[in-house]
Every structure is written in C-alpha cells, then in structure tokens.
A and B are shown apart, each in its own frame.
Chain A
C-alpha cells in the first residue's frame, strides 16, 4: 500500500505560490484515505456477510429438513425410555419369615389400539365389549374413529382374554408385554404389603412402583437390580397372619364392631409376627381412596399403625411400672381409692366403688382409675413425661411402613396435673395400637426398649433399659392376676398363662366437645406366657357391643378379651409356644400290697 503524505510539501508550496489554501490538499488526502479504508472494510465485510447469510440459509434448511423428517415419521407408540433411563421391570419378591411368597410378579399383557391400522372399527369395538363388559361401546367407537393414533384399552389382561382379543383378528389391536404385581394371598397382610401400580409405561414394558406399605418404603430396594432378585423377607408368619385375620373377622362380626385390629409382637426381637386391620382390601385391586366419609373408616386405613386412639386402662400398667421403678410402691402397697376423687373442678370416678383402699395389684386387677391417678401424682408430671417418652409415646413408631411416620401420638397441649392423672389411665393421650404393643413388650420382656419392625430379625434387640427385671416380673404377675381373677377372666387360655390388661375408652366426638356415651374403643393388651414372656398380643375393637347376662355390654372384658383369647388359642401353637399342662392330680389309687 502506498501511503499518501497528508501534507506533501511540494504540492503545498505550489499551492501557496498560486495563492490557494493548502489545507484543501490535506483535506482531500484525508478523504481519499477514508474512502480507501471504507472500500477495504466493505470488501472484508462482503465476504463475512456472505458467510453469515449462507450459514443462516443452511441453519434454516436444517431446521426445515428436521421438521420434514419428524412430520414424515410414523407416529410411534409411546416409549417410556426417556432420557436414557431404562425401565427396570424386575421387582423383587416379598416373602414371609418362612419364605412363603407374599408378593411376586406375573408376566401379562396390556392391550392397546392403533386406530389408523384398524380395519373394521365398529366390529372391533363391539367384540371388545363382549370380552370386557366394563368397556363402553360408544366410547370405543369414538376413540377409534377420532384423530387418535394410539390408545390404551386395558392395562392387564388374562391369557384367555388375550386369545379372545386375538381372535377378533383386527391388526390395530395390539398387546404389550409387561409384568404385573401379584399378591397370591389376597387380603392377607393387605395393609402391610400396601400395593403397587404402574409408573411410567410403554408398550414394551412398564415400571411397577409401590404405592403404600412395605412396597412403597422399600420401593428402591425392590427395584434395585443389584439385589439380583433376592426377595425381601418380612417378619410376619403367613399362617399366623391367616389365623389372626380369621379370628378378628369372626370377632368383629360377633361383637358388632365396625373395625378390628390385631397385633402379635415378639417381645424380644420386636418382630411383628402378624398384624391385621379390618376392614381391609385386596392389594391386587387396591381401591381408590374414598372421597367421602372419614379416612379412618376407609378399608385403606391401617388402624394398627395409623389409627390414634385413647387406649384407656391398658395404660395403667405403665403408671404402676414407673411408681415401682421409682421405689414409691410395691405390689402390696395400699393405695387410697376413696371416690369420687376431686382435683380442681375435675372429678375422677371408678367404674364401681372399690372401697377406701386397694393394694397396687388390686388397683390393676380391678382397674381403679382413682388408685392409678394417686400413683401418677406421686410420680409427678416431669417424670411421667420422661417415662412416656422412653416408651415411645412421643414419636411415631419406627416400623418400616410408609404410613407410620404420619401417626404421631396426640399429646396434651399443656401437660397439667390433671393431664398426668388422666394419662395414667389412658385418656388424654392418643396412640396407635402398635405404640401400645411396643410399650407393653418393652416393660414386660424384662425391661428393655423394643422398636417394632416388619423385617425378619436374627436375634433379640438390645434396647435401652426402661424398667428393672424385678419390676418387669412383678408387672407380669399383676397382669396374670387380671386374667385369673380380674376384668379379663375370659382371657384364660389353658396352659399358656396369659396375662393382660383391659382398656375401654369412650370415643371422642369427631367434631370435638366431649365423648360419646355409647361408643367405645375396647382394647385388650396381653402377654403370654407370663412366666416366660414370648409374645405381646393386642386386640382392639372399634365400637363393639354384645348382649350378655341381660345387659348390653361394651367393656373390653366382654368384647376384646374373648376375641384375644381365641386368637391366642389359635396362634400359640403356630408360633411354637408349648402349653404347660399342669401335672395331673394324684389319681386316687391306693397301692395295696397283698
């Protein structure tokens, strides 16, 4: 590039000689340089603009081609494998403590339609309705003739149904293989297992996800391919569970109750051997949550774990346990039971007047509210709170069911002396039957804290100590006395040394404002055998009533106790507890020698 000097001396001198303005030369030179620069910039920009323009045209062409490619592609059936994560169809089985199957998978097919390839849509709809009476013919015809290119008809069909659909012979009706969850025992252990449904689904497979109970809590474990199909072993025993459900169902009918709950808990390992809540449901066909009525009356509601009830006099044993543990009383200490007992504006009464005073054992045997309240006052509020907390009444149970964390016991907002007294006999604190089972196991097994579990355990739990061995033994003896000569006399099962405590609590009205006079929750919390405790059995009936000795009776002694006795009689042999037959009385044979 030749550069032009802005002030070429020769030309300026020339201009001066001619009398012209020399600045014009400089200006002209600057202008020329500017023009040159502009031309250069334009040439460079020309190329770059062309590059840009072509790039844009290419990009638009690519977008257009891609659009064309998508538009030209056949509509595919939905495929669930999105974002690279494959559906894992293999879900582990669930088995009971002896390896019997509780939940497994079944290979089945789903039925779907591709209307564009269907031949005779009306006929297909007509035939389908014959095979599946729950389908609506008009609806199917509308779906088939509309714009839809894909629709599910049935999520699960049987081999016979599949053959029948196959025989319709329409190429637009197709089958997608999949695994479904099967509960071969039907309603047994329905609440524990919960249920499963399809998650993401495509035509080639579908994901099975747990929706409640164990299926939901262990969803990740059950779906984890790393387990290689190893089953999940629960603590429950299928035969015991079956017996329990049978007995409870019969008892519920006999006592005209609207619900029943049973729990059998191993006092040493914390394993739940059986747990049932009635009414129940079939997890193979899990009902939808009810839209009306109380959720706690729904078959889906697990009363044993989710139900929070005032459990009544069954709590008295905890008061006595604590009073003994603190050294305030022993089983034969006499306690003032003069009634009615007044405290501020509250009055505490007993079911009957039991006289001026009773021994601690008799307070339990006769179930005296006044005697228990007096002991609670001796213990005092802070210590009672500590003890209840130790027994697990402050937190939800830690059992491995998805419903458990929601059931946090209802405690009094302000824990006054009157709360202390009412809680001592089981009012003013609502907890689930499973809380009660765990607390009974904790004080009766020798005195160490038990956390209930639904999984098979290898050995006993070594929990924190809550009461001493001696206290625990004395409590078992008192409970035995309740059955031998107290409120639970129907609970005697020969050979098994059953001990237990009844509890009858008036039901609080749903919308607040006091208690029903004629609706109760009747509970029997028992342990057997009392001389060598193995199992805690809880039976709770919701609104039972029975007619006996010319009277309408609702108390637990008449309702829950006989059911529990039947339950223990049926299940104890299955649990492997041997009855202790008292030695035969000496037969009156006189040996003679002759």
Chain B
C-alpha cells in the first residue's frame, strides 16, 4: 500500500509495450506529425521537380528519396517514443557527445558542397549535417544539467550548460551557420526560462537587446538599410522575398492549381527554405493555414502536457524540443511573409532533406516519449493506479 501511494513502483509492469505506448502517447500530436509529413510529400511532388530537371534526374527523384528518408525518420521516431524518460536521457547524452564531436571535427573532415559553409559530412550516397542532430540531443543534455542543478547539493548545471551552449554557438558561427546557432541559443534560453530564470535578469536581457538594436541601427548604415528595406512596404520583385510574396499573392485563397505554380522555377530553394511559398501558390491560403495550425497544435499541446509534469528533466527537455520545433517552423514561414529577415531555415518535416528529416524524427520521437501520460502523484493517478491494480 505504501508503495502504491508514493508511486515508487512501476505502473503495472506486466502491461505490454505497444498498448501502453498507445494509451499514453499524445495521439493528437502524433496525428499532426503524420499529416505534416503527408503534406511535405505532396509539396515535394510540386517543388522538387524543377530541381530534378536541373540536375537531369527523373522528375520525382527527390520525392522518392524523401519517402525513403521519411520511413527511416518514422522508424526512429516510433522507437524513440517508446523509450522511458530515463532511457531518453541516457541515449540523448551519449548521442550528444557523438554529435558534438562530429560538429567539432567538421572543419577537418567536412565538405561545403561548393556552398561556402562547411556543414556536411559526405558519405557518398548521402550527406549528413551534424548540427541537425546536435540540436535535439543538446536539449536533452542541457535539460539533464539544469534538472540536476535543482537537486539538493546538485552540480552547477546551469553554468555548465551555458558554457556548452556558447561553445556550440561558436562552432556553428564558425561554419558559418547563424540560423542554427540562433536556434540552439533560443532552445537554451527557453529552457532556462522555464527552469526559473530570475525575472530581473530577463528584464535586463530584454533591455540589453533593445539597446543593442538601437545602437546598431544608429551606428551601422548597412544594418539600418537592411532594417529599412525589411520594414518598407514595397518589396523588390526580383529578390527571393519578392518572388515569395508574389507567389503567395498569386495563390490567393485557393491556389492557382496543382502543378501550375511558377515560383518553384524561379527560386533555387523552393524545395527547402521557401516550400511554404510553393504551398501558398499552388494550394492557396487554405493549405498554409492548415500547416500553420498543425505546427501550432503540436507545439501548444506539448507545452500544455508538460505543465502537469513534476519531473524537472522531463519538463525542461520537452520544453526545449517543442519550442525548437515550433520556432523553426515559425521562422521559416515568417521569412516567407516578410515578418522576419531572410534566414536559411528548413520547415521541419515538410522541407526536403534527409538529415533534417531524420533529425526531426529523432526530436519528435523524444518529444513524444517525454509528453506521454505518466503518473504525477495527483489524486487522479492514485485512482487510475488503484483501478489497474485491481
């Protein structure tokens, strides 16, 4: 009886893995993810054709690859989502060291594929971008450190994780890949916030950012022109942004029709960074709103589920993963509608790209594992357990 009250025993240890997974996993988020991937394939059918034609490949070459990567991503996601939080933590931390090493070794063994930034390892049949994998496992690592610091006589986890994040940001900035660097920094910031960052510090930080922005605006003509150009209502129609805006406009509410879009022929990144413009042009505002709603649902639901979580590690890791996922989608779409300055960032689970897809599967698998329903020592849990316990 004592054991049951204090939740020290495993929940009905005899229950098979799959039914328990199905009972406890967040089915809403899971469905949203599946729909997103389906939409990604649908858009890939439209957006990657010009690229394939440019490279003299069969029309749907990239779609086929995307399906293969997608299946791998789903396998990863499913397996990871059955892990217990403890398992997630252990694997994540181990994986973190591997990914960190891979990132640090990039300058020596990586390639830049002629794009000017050394971000990839070339494996012959495919290329791997370590930073994509580092993002989710870094969240696990940082969450572990921060959670440990909340224990009595715990280590100074927040300072250690800060040092870690600054190192990673430095490595990413060296590549250079400021988009991923910002994302990692953002993930850490969110976790720190939820882990209980002191309010005065937050206010001070916000003030510093505003001040720095004002100084930069007044001090640097280049920066000021960028911002002015960004704020001005008119967009130069010959830039990427111009094409994207025009595509959204051409699409209207219901789109110009499947395969009728023009923007994919003009934008080199139509299948990755600007895939939302392709969606808007061919399928119209409707599909775009659906996509946005799906991202919003996954992010919001995950955060809400984490609110009930008492374990600090699970709460922090989940928060970091969910926010990174959400903010990446937000930035990608925000760029296309000119709410944010241009930044190369993929739309998770929709854009073409093996690394980003499998890393996305890993991240969402961990998120699903962490947001599974588990006893929190609340009165309802006691009843539930009593019910199962017979």
Contact = CB atoms under 8 A, between A and B. Distances in A.
Interface in B176-217: 190, 193-196
A56 B323 contact: yes
B42 interface: no
B330 A52 contact: no
Interface in B17-41: none
A71 B287 CA distance: 12
Interface in B315-355: 315, 319, 323, 326-327, 330, 333-334, 337-339
Contact of B249 (A45, A53, A63, A73): A73
Nearest to B197: A48
B149 to A, nearest CB: 11
B251 interface: yes
A49 B303 contact: yes
Nearest to A38: B310
Interface in B55-104: none
A24 interface: no
Contacts of B234: 79, 81-82
Contacts of B330: 56, 59-60, 63
A64 B292 contact: yes
B1 interface: no
B339 A63 contact: yes
A532 interface: no
Contact of A67 (B246, B280, B295): B280
A75 interface: yes
Contacts of B310: 38-39, 42
A37 interface: yes
Contact of A147 (B194, B262, B339): B262
B235 interface: yes
A66 B236 contact: no
Given A37-B150, A42-B309, A56-B299, A68 B339 contact: no
B225 interface: yes
Given A59-B330, A72-B253, A30 B196 contact: no
A42 B195 CA distance: 9
Contacts of A44: 196
A464 interface: no
A62 B331 CA distance: 12
A62 B337 CA distance: 10
Interface string A393-427: 00000000000000000000000000000000000
Nearest to A35: B377
B152 A34 contact: yes
Contacts of A30: 152
A41 interface: yes
B248 A67 contact: yes
A50 B288 contact: no
Given A73-B249, A147-B250, A83 B300 contact: no
A84 interface: yes
A56 B251 contact: no
Contact of B300 (A35, A53, A74, A149): A53
A83 B232 contact: yes
Interface residues of A toward B: which range? 35 or more
A147 B260 CA distance: 8
B349 to A, nearest CB: 16
A78 interface: yes
B315 A52 contact: no
B163 interface: no
Nearest to B246: A75
A56 B329 CA distance: 11
A63 B225 CA distance: 24
Contact of A83 (B236, B304, B323): B236
A49 B306 contact: yes
A41 B152 CA distance: 13
A57 interface: yes
A66 B337 contact: yes
A75 B250 contact: yes
Nearest to A46: B307
Contact of B337 (A39, A67, A72, A82): A67
Main SS of the interface on chain B?
A: helix
Nearest to B254: A71
Contacts of A149: 250
A56 B377 CA distance: 29
A70 interface: yes
B293 to A, nearest CB: 8
A130 interface: no
A145 to B, nearest CB: 13
A71 B232 contact: no
Given A62-B339, A83-B225, A71 B285 contact: yes
Interface in B281-317: 284-285, 288-289, 292-293, 295-296, 299-300, 303-304, 306-307, 309-312, 315
B193 A52 contact: yes
A33 interface: yes
B228 interface: yes
A41 B151 CA distance: 11
Residue in A30, A38, A39, A62 with the greatest tally of chain B CB atoms within 10 Å? A38
B285 A53 contact: no
Nearest to A81: B234
B289 A53 contact: no
Given A50-B307, A63-B337, A82-B236, A41 B285 contact: no
Contact of B193 (A48, A66, A79): A48
Contacts of B106: none
A77 to B, nearest CB: 10
Contacts of B304: 49-50, 53
A74 B245 CA distance: 12
B128 interface: no
Contacts of A49: 194, 303-304, 306-307, 315, 319
Contact of A42 (B251, B295, B315, B327): B315
Contacts of A75: 246, 249-250
A34 B334 CA distance: 42
A82 B333 contact: no
A74 B295 CA distance: 28
Contacts of A72: 252-253, 285
B268 interface: no
20 contacts: A30-B152, A33-B152, A38-B311, A56-B330, A60-B330, A63-B339, A64-B288, A64-B292, A66-B337, A67-B248, A67-B333, A70-B245, A70-B249, A70-B337, A71-B249, A71-B251, A75-B250, A82-B239, A82-B242, A84-B228
Interface of A: 30, 33-35, 37-39, 41-42, 44-46, 48-50, 52-53, 56-57, 59-64, 66-68, 70-75, 78-79, 81-84, 147, 149
Given A45-B312, A53-B300, A84-B228, 8 more contacts: A35-B377, A37-B152, A45-B307, A53-B303, A59-B330, A60-B326, A64-B288, A71-B253
- 8 A-B pairs with least C-beta separation: A82-B236, A83-B229, A53-B303, A60-B296, A71-B285, A66-B337, A70-B248, A64-B292
